[in-house]
Chains A and B, each alone.
Chain A
Amino acid sequence: MSEYCIELNNLTKRFGKFTAVDNFSLKLLPGKVYGIVGPNGAGKSTTMAMIMGSLHPSEGTGNVMGHQLGSEEALKILGYSPEFTSFYDDMSCVEYLWYMGTLGGLSNEEAMEKAISLIKKYDLVDHAYKKVSKFSTGMKKKVSLAQAMIHDPKILLLDEPTANLDPTSRMEILDTVREMVQERNLTVLISSHVLTELETVIDHVIMINHGKLVMDEDITTAQERFKQGILVVSCDNNELLLKELERKYKVENGKGTIRIMTSDVNSLKKEVVKLIFENDLVLNVLHEEVLSLDLLYKQALEGENK
Chain B
Amino acid sequence: MKHIFSRTLETTIKKVSLIVSIAISIAVGAIVVNANKNNVGAYQNVLENALMLQHLLVYFVIAGFLLMVSTISNATGLIASEVHEGTFKLLAAKPNSRTQILVGKILGVILGQIILLAVSLLSYFSTVIIASNIDGNIIKEMVSYLPAYFLYGVVIILFFTAVSTFLSCVAKRKITALLPLLAIVVIALGFLPLQRVMTLVREGSSPVTLYYVDMNYHFGLIFKFFVELVDPIKPNRIIGYLTNLFTDYKLDPDVTRQEWGGRILLANNYLSATVVMLFYSIISLVSYVMSFVIIKKKDI
Contacts and interface: CB of A to CB of B under 8 A. Distances in A.
A103 B89 contact: no
A76 B95 contact: yes
A238 interface: no
Given A54-B300, A55-B300, A88-B87, A72 B93 contact: no
Interface string A75-111: 1101010101111101000000001101111000000
Contacts of B91: 103
A56 interface: yes
A52 B91 CA distance: 11
B234 interface: no
A78 B96 CA distance: 12
B94 A151 contact: yes
A7 to B, nearest CB: 19
Given A99-B3, A103-B3, A103-B4, A54 B89 contact: yes
Contacts, number: 58
Contact of A84 (B3, B11, B86): B86
B133 interface: no
B297 interface: yes
A18 to B, nearest CB: 13
Contact of A86 (B7, B86, B93, B94): B86
Interface residues of A, number: 27
Nearest to B10: A90
Contacts of B11: 90
Contact of B297 (A56, A78, A86): A56
A103 B94 contact: yes
A87 B89 CA distance: 11
B85 to A, nearest CB: 5
B94 A85 contact: no
Contact of A104 (B7, B85, B89, B95): B95
A7 B151 CA distance: 53
Nearest to A76: B95
B93 A87 contact: no
A131 to B, nearest CB: 14
A72 B95 contact: yes
Interface string B91-123: 111111100000000000000000000000000
Nearest to A74: B95
A78 B93 CA distance: 8
B201 interface: no
B130 interface: no
Interface in B259-300: 297, 299-300
A75 B87 contact: no
Given A54-B299, A54-B300, A56-B297, A100 B85 contact: no
Contacts of A104: 94-95
A57 B268 CA distance: 51
A53 interface: yes
B95 A55 contact: no
Contacts of A100: 90, 94
A147 interface: yes
Among B11, B297, B299: residue with most chain A CB under 10 A: B299
B299 A86 contact: no
Nearest to A56: B299
Nearest to A71: B97
Contact of A72 (B4, B7, B96): B96
B90 A85 contact: yes
A85 B86 contact: yes
Contacts of B90: 80, 82, 85-86, 100, 147
Interface in A36-76: 49, 52-56, 72-73, 75-76
30 contacts: A52-B92, A53-B92, A54-B89, A54-B92, A54-B299, A55-B300, A72-B96, A72-B97, A73-B95, A75-B94, A78-B93, A80-B90, A82-B86, A82-B89, A82-B93, A85-B90, A86-B85, A86-B89, A86-B90, A87-B87, A99-B3, A100-B90, A103-B4, A103-B91, A103-B94, A103-B95, A103-B96, A105-B94, A105-B95, A151-B95
Given A55-B299, A73-B95, 11 more contacts: A49-B300, A54-B92, A54-B93, A54-B299, A75-B96, A82-B90, A86-B89, A100-B94, A103-B91, A103-B96, A105-B94
